[in-house]
Structure 1
Amino acid sequence: MRRREKKDHAKAALSADRSSSIAVNSFVTRCVATGGLVVFAVASAGLSLALLGRPDLDAPSDGHVRLLEAKTDLNGHVVATLQNQELGLKILTLDRCIIGAQYLQEEFQDQAAFTGFALQEAVVFVNRSLRRVLQLGLGAASVPNFLRSRRIQVDVVEVSETVIDMAEKHFGFSSCRRGNTKACQQRFGRTVQGDGREFLFGRDRRYDLVISDVFVGSNPGHLHSLEVFQRIQQQWLWPSGVLMVNFVGFHSGHRSHISRKLARTLRHVFATTRCFRDEDPAEHLDAAANLVCLASDQAFHFNVPTTGDFSNPAPFSSVWVMKHFQQWQVLPAEDGNESIFQDSQNELLEMDSQAEIQAHFWSHAQTLIPSHVWTALGLLCCSESRKN
């Protein structure tokens, strides 16, 4: 990545000062991975979640957390953009789940705020020519914006019209649905509002890379089944194309059976599948995390730079994650004929022991958000799943 030299000095100063945007990268990601447990919201003594159902730019603030805009989408979900000045983040939420974030400081905005997104962005180093990409699930557009900045055309499918609007208004995303749409689409790609599965089975087009990033409190089974992966392989990817799936779960122990089953399903379809955790697997062994699997019918590897920004990156920065993620490979291939996910099972890939996970991360959440915010919101999170 091309960055000005002063950016590294700015990072060092920020890390040495208050809660660093870079330092919270991994920390906030782990909170989000619990099923969207953390929500950044403006709060006052009497604020209820229902009040977030309408735009309210003059809403009160607790000093460093401010609501910028909130709307209810056509599916009844509350989509909000919030700003945490202390952490230096702008955050996008759906109901009580964080679905994306961006650094407030302009010089940091080419970097992912969460390690999970940085891991996804590392796909630019795969030994493939990435000219055209399809992404299912938009969020705050961190990954599409990153890829587009490298002259990669990215088509996006997102189920919530309001999420698209928020990403465009607050996070620098171009939906290419207004103005000179043809020129915009030729440069950046198209944006389609609709259910991801319906989109996949309604048409076809070849891509170098398909990204499935649809976690919002649960891993939606209607987009993670054998039939869906086969459809992507046969109708959406070139023979050398890559499918990248981001999901949330455990990488080891008895609670990892859902993650292993998903990886097994990918291996049932593709010749090569590799899965990575968004942090060292030896760290926080009992915690759920973002797990990113890449699958292809042709073997692949990553050509990650070792010089320049990659020679000595700041810990937990995007570049640091990209430099180290290959050491965090998890979910190896298994022997035997264990089960895979199929449509006929009609399963949601819910993380088991959800209550246990939420309790585990509650202490972390309180260090990020003032107690009275949680009191005002009425706590926890995201029992609902959302199709994308």
Structure 2
Amino acid sequence: MVQVMVSLLLLLVTVHHVSTHLMPATDDQYDVLSRIDVDDSVVAVVRRNKILHLLYDETIIGAEFDDPMLRKQTTYPGFTIMQCSAYLDRKPSRALQIGLGIGSVPSFLRDMDIPTDVVEISEAVVIQAADYFQYEWCVLSDDEEDEKCPNGQTFVMDGLEFLNRKPKDLEIQTQEDTNPYDLFIVDVYTGWNPFAFLVREKILLIRKNWLTIDGVLVMNFVGFMHGPRAAAPKSIYRTLQSAFKHVKCFREMEDPNDPEAGNIVFYASDKHIDFALPSTGIYKDPPPNTFYSVVTNFPNWQIFTDLDSEVEVAIHQEVDDDKVRFVPNNDSYKTDEGPALRVLTEASHGQKDFHDIHVETQNHMRERVLSQFPLALWNELKQDNWSQRPLLRNHQQVCCQILFSHLAARQIAYATRHPPSASHLRMRLHHSLICFLEKPECTISKINRQQ
């Protein structure tokens, strides 16, 4: 009887296939739900094929299924693999992620009772994630009676600036003589891979100021895992090996011979990296190519294990000093097809040697994104948000004034509880007004939902 009930429950679980990329556009259907223009860029929420996408210009920085029953399942396996940091056998007690996207990973960690702070350079990205993708945006208040963001706070600032400061500078609470986070995630891809976050100096800075002794560093990189173009992610692997005793790297593709570029997820720690993954219910025999199958099977998708043996020998040779980390010579691992692997440093992170790899990866991903949406969308996003707008009719002008006053009153009330920055307030008011001009009925509904 119990087995029958379990089977019935499993039938009720809604699943959706996941993939490293979506299929090319075959129709012209899409809906721009929101756009925020920032300088020469556009941060837009676009619905297409029952999926909500967050676009930063011509890059997908996050996506989720429009069906509420599917929203907890990631659309891309790489995000699932990062979410599985919640299942580390040493369950994290506090996490931080640099790079928000739509908040897939930090929101998942928070749902798993792991308070997670986020650092995101773009306020527009935070606004869109909070308004359309269920991201909880909490900003600490100076009022001692206010709630102190129990699920995690959001820092709208440059991630590199954040790393160069110390927890006390940002009023991040720490226990005596310990760093604040036992899980630290870096996912800063926005159409290209910012190598400034991946150099040895920054990784050591994370170790020194932010990560606990037993903590785990997780990094996401978009690139190729085969051929000469794999020299870039393999060099990241080498760099992590120079700072941590244990490194694991996972592809997001189930097929080990997949030639496409995709998310490559690194885990690094001074303690063994193991997972206590769920194995009951739908995870026991998950449908293939779904969120649940990725959670179950990704440990078998480990790559670059051929780089491990040299590190073990080098560490054992210097086992007397536990502070010594293996730092291979930049010429220590040459390939016949491409540039030599190296430890990435601020002085030498392959700017010239890896230039062609970076350009090829960037162009490859851009073409993939462009193919997934109709040309009309890209033409629409290129248009100036004001200059292309027709003149308002009188009744629309009146409605705008009423809406603007309503929003201003709400923002004043909101500010007394969680005071946003002046730029945040201006941007949200401006964004709401623009949204209303385009889709009045959507905005009124949104206002009611946010109250």
Q: TM-score, normalised by structure 2?
A: 0.67
- Residue 357 of structure 2 aligns to a residue whose secondary structure is coil
How far is 1:129 from its partner? 2.6
**Matches of 1:316 and 1:142, distance apart in 2:** 18
Match of 1:227 in 2: 201
- Residue 106 of structure 2 aligns to a residue whose secondary structure is helix
**Paired residues of 2:98 and 2:186 also in contact (CA < 8 A):** yes
Match of 1:212 in 2: 186
Tell me which structure has the larger Cα radius of gyration: 2
**Matches of 1:365 and 1:7, distance apart in 2:** 37
- Deviation per residue, 1:26-68 (Å, 9 max, x gap): 1427x8xxxxxx8x9xx9xxxxxxxxxxxxxxxxxx4x41001
**Paired residues of 1:266 and 1:273 also in contact (CA < 8 A):** yes
- Residue 265 of structure 1 aligns to a residue whose secondary structure is helix
Match of 2:335 in 1: none
AA matched with 1:341: L
**Matches of 1:364 and 1:213, distance apart in 2:** 18
Whether 1:147 and 2:109 are equivalent positions in the alignment is yes
Determine which of 56, 61, 69 is the counterpart of 1:94: 56
Match of 1:197 in 2: 160
Match of 1:301 in 2: 274
Determine which of 75, 79, 85 is the counterpart of 2:43: 79
**Matches of 1:166 and 1:7, distance apart in 2:** 33
**Matches of 2:379 and 2:156, distance apart in 1:** 35
AA matched with 1:134: L
AA matched with 2:215: G
AA matched with 1:303: A
**Paired residues of 1:176 and 1:184 also in contact (CA < 8 A):** no
**Matches of 1:92 and 1:127, distance apart in 2:** 32
**Matches of 1:213 and 1:181, distance apart in 2:** 33
- Residue 127 of structure 2 aligns to a residue whose secondary structure is helix
Whether 1:165 and 2:170 are equivalent positions in the alignment is no
**Paired residues of 1:276 and 1:291 also in contact (CA < 8 A):** yes
Q: Say if 1:363 and 1:237 are closer, same or farther in 2 by CA, change over 3 A.
A: closer
**Matches of 2:250 and 2:343, distance apart in 1:** 19
Whether 1:343 and 2:346 are equivalent positions in the alignment is yes
Q: Say if 1:350 and 1:130 are closer, same or farther in 2 by CA, change over 3 A.
A: farther
| Higher RCO (Cα < 8 Å, 6 or more apart) | 1
Gaps of 5+ in 2: 1-5, 168-178, 311-327, 333-341, 383-451
Determine which of 74, 78, 94 is the counterpart of 1:132: 94
**Matches of 2:57 and 2:102, distance apart in 1:** 14
Q: Say if 1:236 and 1:182 are closer, same or farther in 2 by CA, change over 3 A.
A: farther
AA matched with 2:248: R
**Matches of 1:5 and 1:183, distance apart in 2:** 45
- Deviation per residue, 1:62-114 (Å, 9 max, x gap): 4x4100111123x5421111111x2x211101111000011111111111121
Match of 2:151 in 1: 188
Q: TM-score, normalised by structure 1?
A: 0.77
Determine which of 274, 288, 311 is the counterpart of 2:284: 311
**Paired residues of 2:59 and 2:366 also in contact (CA < 8 A):** no
**Paired residues of 2:139 and 2:154 also in contact (CA < 8 A):** yes
Residues 39-118 of structure 1 aligned to structure 2 (within 5 Å): 62=28, 64-73=29-38, 76-84=40-48, 86=49, 88-118=50-80
**Matches of 2:358 and 2:140, distance apart in 1:** 44
AA matched with 2:180: R
How far is 1:195 from its partner? 0.8
Match of 2:21 in 1: 28
More helix by share: 2
How far is 1:178 from its partner? 7.9
More displaced, 315-324 or 368-377? 368-377
**Paired residues of 1:138 and 1:158 also in contact (CA < 8 A):** yes
**Matches of 2:364 and 2:152, distance apart in 1:** 41
How far is 1:307 from its partner? 1.6
Whether 1:156 and 2:118 are equivalent positions in the alignment is yes
Q: Say if 1:202 and 1:114 are closer, same or farther in 2 by CA, change over 3 A.
A: same
**Paired residues of 1:136 and 1:157 also in contact (CA < 8 A):** yes
- Residue 68 of structure 1 aligns to a residue whose secondary structure is strand
Match of 1:369 in 2: 373
**Paired residues of 2:140 and 2:148 also in contact (CA < 8 A):** no
Q: Say if 1:181 and 1:119 are closer, same or farther in 2 by CA, change over 3 A.
A: farther
**Paired residues of 1:249 and 1:351 also in contact (CA < 8 A):** no
Report the count of equivalent residues. Answer: 332
How far is 1:370 from its partner? 3.7
AA matched with 1:166: Q
**Paired residues of 1:80 and 1:92 also in contact (CA < 8 A):** yes
**Paired residues of 2:97 and 2:185 also in contact (CA < 8 A):** yes
Match of 2:357 in 1: 352
